[in-house]
């Protein structure tokens, strides 16, 4: 499925569950709410979009996620996430608020390339804490602007 050049008010896991792949391209999206999706089995690609509210708490991107050249306006709380069998790729995005990764277990690689984290992220932070993120196949971070190893206490 491809949705291109659209103004979209709301998307939930119900909008993705019948597809193997789903591409959102050049869209203005008010809200993507994947809270409660737990296992999202679609390979989701979001490219060149403006997203006001991205809610992904506890969502497992089993078949991967590509978020590329997007502007995400809200604070993102990604707890107990990961569990991805395919890579999660964040490339060329602007994150306007803090991106909280908390107790995520990434089974496949997570890549951060050419992003701007205006208020930072703790993806590589919280070293030694019980809620530190884990990376079974490692991570790649290249050419990002903003702190990507914030400790939880710094994020408050």
> How many Å apart are CA 9 and CA 92, to the nearest integer?
23
Q: What is the mean pLDDT of the chain?
A: 93
pLDDT for position 127: 78
pLDDT score at 131 = 83
Quote the pLDDT of residue 137.
94
The pLDDT, as a whole number, for residue 154 is 54
What gap in Å lies between CA 46 and CA 128, rounded to an integer?
33
Q: In this predicted structure, what is the pLDDT of residue 35? A: 87
- Residue 80 is predicted with a pLDDT of 85
Paired tokens of 110: 């997570």
User: What pLDDT score does 19 carry?
Assistant: 96
What 3-state DSSP class applies to 75? coil
Cα→Cα distances 98→110, 123, 145, 155, Å: 18, 11, 13, 8
pLDDT value, residue 109:
95
* pLDDT, tens digit (0-9, with 9 covering 90-100), for 95-153: 999 999 999 999 999 999 999 999 999 999 887 777 889 999 999 999 999 999 998 65
CB 59 within 8 A of CB 34: yes
Per-residue pLDDT reduced to its tens digit, 33-76: 998 777 899 999 999 999 999 999 989 999 999 999 999 999 99
pTM of the model: 0.93
Q: What is the spatial distance between Cα 53 and Cα 112, in angstroms, rounded to a whole number? A: 20
What's the CA gap between 71 and 108, in Å, rounded? 24
Q: Is 11 exposed, middle or buried (0-12, 13-18, 19+ CB in 10 A)?
A: buried
């Amino acid at each position: 499925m491809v949705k291109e050049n659209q103004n979209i008010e709301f998307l939930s896991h119900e909008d993705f569950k019948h597809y193997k792949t789903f591409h959102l391209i050049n869209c203005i999206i008010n809200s993507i709410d994947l809270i409660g999706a737990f296992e999202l089995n679609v390979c989701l690609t979001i490219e060149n979009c403006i997203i006001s509210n991205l809610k992904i708490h506890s969502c497992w991107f089993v078949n991967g996620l590509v978020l590329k050249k997007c502007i995400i306006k809200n604070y993102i709380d990604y707890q107990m996430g990961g569990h991805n069998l395919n890579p999660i790729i964040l490339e060329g995005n602007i994150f306007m608020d803090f991106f909280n990764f908390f107790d995520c277990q990434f089974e496949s690689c997570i890549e951060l390339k050419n992003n701007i984290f205006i208020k930072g992220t703790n993806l590589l932070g919280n070293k030694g804490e019980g809620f530190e993120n884990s990376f079974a196949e490692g991570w790649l971070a290249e050419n990002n602007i903003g702190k990507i190893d914030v400790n939880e206490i710094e994020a408050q």
